[in-house]
Structures are given as C-alpha cells and as structure tokens.
Homo-oligomer: A and B are copies of this chain.
Amino acid sequence: MNIRFSRRTQALSSSAIREILKVTERPEVISFAGGLPSPASFPVDAIARASARVFARQAQTALQYGPTEGYGPLREWIGARHRVAAERVIVTTGSQQALDLLGKVLIDPGSPVLVETPTYLGALQAFSLFEPVFCALRSDDDGPLPEALDVGLAQEARLLYAQPNFQNPTGRRMPLARRAALVERARELGVLLVEDDPYGELAYDGQRLPTLLSMNPDGVVYLGSFSKVLAPGLRLGYLIAPPKLARKLVHAKQAADLHSPSLAQLLAFETVRDGLLDPHLAAVRERYRAQCEVMLDALARHMPPGVRWSRPRGGMFVWLTLPAGVDAGELLPRAIARNVAFVPGAAFYAGPAAVNTLRLAFVTVPPARIEQGVAILGQLFAEALARAA
C-alpha cells in the first residue's frame, strides 16, 4: 500500500533531539530536559476526594457527552477569575489544543505568524502544520520589542504569539511597561495577540502582572492551563477569545474532539470550587522557588567564566548562554554520555538560531542531583571552552 501523505506532513518529523532525549528515561540520567511539573506538587488527595464526590453525585454528567464549549460551571469559574464573560471561555484538551485550533482557524499556507525570539517549541510545532511563514520578532530580556513590530510585518500577520510570564524556554517575564507598549502597538497595527500563559500562577512571590488580555480583551486570545496548577494528566486548558473568533474556534473544536473529557472538567471544577487552588498554588510556588535557588546556586558554583544564565522569578526554566562559537547541540551527546540531559536552545528559534544556548528545567530534579548534574555540565562546558580557545 502506497500511502499518499498530505503536503503538510512534511512539517512533521521526529526531531533528532527528541530521539536523543528518549534515553533520559533511564533512571541514572539526571534530566534537566523535560518540561514536566513536579509530581510531588500534584494535589492528589484533593483530586481523589473530588473524584469520589463527582462519582457519588454527578456520575452521569461526568460520563456523558457534554457541550463543545466546556462544562458550564467551570467556564463560569474561569471567566470570573479573568473578569470576562463565560461566553468567551472555551475549555480545551490541554492548551496545546488551543494552539492547534488557532492554527486551523487563522493560518493559511504562507500566512505570516509572528513569534518571540526564542519561542515555545510546542507552538512552532502546532502552527507548522498549517504552513505559515514564521517571522521572529527581535526580542530582549523583557520580551519582544514593540518597535520590531512594523507596518510591513503587521500587514498580513495572522497573529503574534507570546508567553509574557516565565517564558518557555528563557524563563523571562515581560515587565508591565513592555506589556502595555506591546498591546498598544498591536492594537494600532491591527495584529491579534495570542497570550500563552501556562506559568502565570507560578511567580515565586505570588505577584501577578496584568495580563495582555486585561489590557485589550477584544484584541487578545488568552491561553490558560490546569497542567501546572493542578495536574497535566487531566489534559485541561482553556482559551478566552473575542466572541467572533470564539464561535469559529468552537466549530473547529467540535470537528477535532467534540468536547474535552467531561470527567476531567467536573473533577477540576470540584477541586477548585472551594478555593483550594490558592493555598495549593502557594505551596507549589514555594517548592519551585526553592528548586530554582538550588539551581542558581549550583550554576554560580560550577559554571566556567563566560557562561551566562537567566534569573527567573517564576516558572520552571533557566536559560544558559555559552560563549559564541560553542554549539550546545554538539555537546548534548557528550552530556548524555555522562548521564546528564538538557535541551539545546536551537530548537526554540523560528529564525536564525543562537546555537550557543540551552534550556535547563529544574522542578522535578532532587536538590542533590541538581548539584551533581550542574557540576558535570560545568566540567563539560569548561572542557569545550578550553578546546575552542
């Protein structure tokens, strides 16, 4: 059987990195590669109790088909949290699905799609299937530069995708002034902003900056997720969109999976309705803050001169920049040979890549192993720098 694939499948290939990283499942490997939240942070007892209540009282609703838009009370809860009408809220099967639906509804082959430099790999993957032309906006430690968004780029752009909070991969956060300037510039030029915010609740000091959504609800699609605040195995995310766009997204979602699992939606609502979320998040933030501190201490102790890194104030990632001329992708196999894994930064660039960068995730690795793993990486990088000199 000679299967005829669609043209867009050419964008689908198993990356060399993904293949290399498969070995990180071996227990002897210290992996800074995965983007998984710490399972120690899951509110297991609360979700188990919620599950027992759902099966006792609402089993038939939890097991039956439901509305494509999502479970009404959960949409209301999300709407109230973001001060928008529940009609704008669509529950999605993880926020990855929101990216897929946005790609379907907004992107034609050749459409310009604007992203940060660097940007989230999963968004590049989701959008790629719809064959856009990515334009990487010049960015600094505060996020994309508003002045990089010019009239020419804006003309045909279908969306500008950004993660303002503790971005994956850099860990950077857009300050308030940058947010305001970016929203204003996008409004002026008529560019739809997609604000992807899986880590917004994970500021170590618990302070939230205003969302882009709150600054211009009719020009921003906001993507939220329960993966990092409750548990990713529920595969629950949501999007908030202007009504005209929300209607199209609902139709696209109906064709994609009819609706997100009713059981997971009822469980999530039952878990958060009594105000459990805020004390739970306080505990998660403290755990992640402590992990981050261990990582930053280890980096300070073990990295050779010339290596720089971000100091995240929330989230799960540190971003390292090696001296120019050193290729982190080439170092990965050597690191894995010494049982340490990371993700080379090149994967996160839509435009020309800074190959001397890499991402370290720190929330699932026990402190002693962080220390050990960073020491090994420091040694490896020092050797590479000595060779390059």
Q: Residues of A with Cβ closer than 8 Å to B?
A: 1-9, 12-14, 36, 39, 42, 44, 47-48, 51-52, 55-56, 59-66, 93-94, 96-97, 99-100, 104-108, 111, 122, 125-126, 128-130, 156, 158, 187, 190, 192, 218-219, 227, 231-235, 242, 244-245, 247-248, 251-252, 254-264, 267
Contacts and interface: CB of A to CB of B under 8 A. Distances in A.
Given A97-B256, A108-B6, A12 B263 contact: no
Given A233-B64, A233-B263, A251-B13, A4 B106 contact: yes
A65 B233 contact: yes
11 contacts: A3-B192, A4-B158, A6-B107, A8-B104, A36-B65, A48-B52, A51-B55, A96-B258, A129-B252, A234-B261, A257-B257
A187 to B, nearest CB: 8
Contacts of A256: 96-97, 100, 126, 256
A44 B62 CA distance: 10
Task: Name the residue among A14, A59, A107 with the largest chain B CB count within 10 angstroms.
Answer: A59
B93 A64 contact: no
A126 B255 contact: yes
A129 to B, nearest CB: 6
B59 A44 contact: yes
Nearest to A49: B55
A105 B264 contact: no
A4 B160 CA distance: 13
A6 B244 contact: no
Given A5-B248, A6-B104, A235-B259, 9 more contacts: A4-B158, A9-B105, A9-B248, A12-B255, A39-B63, A65-B232, A65-B233, A94-B257, A235-B257
A209 B258 CA distance: 28
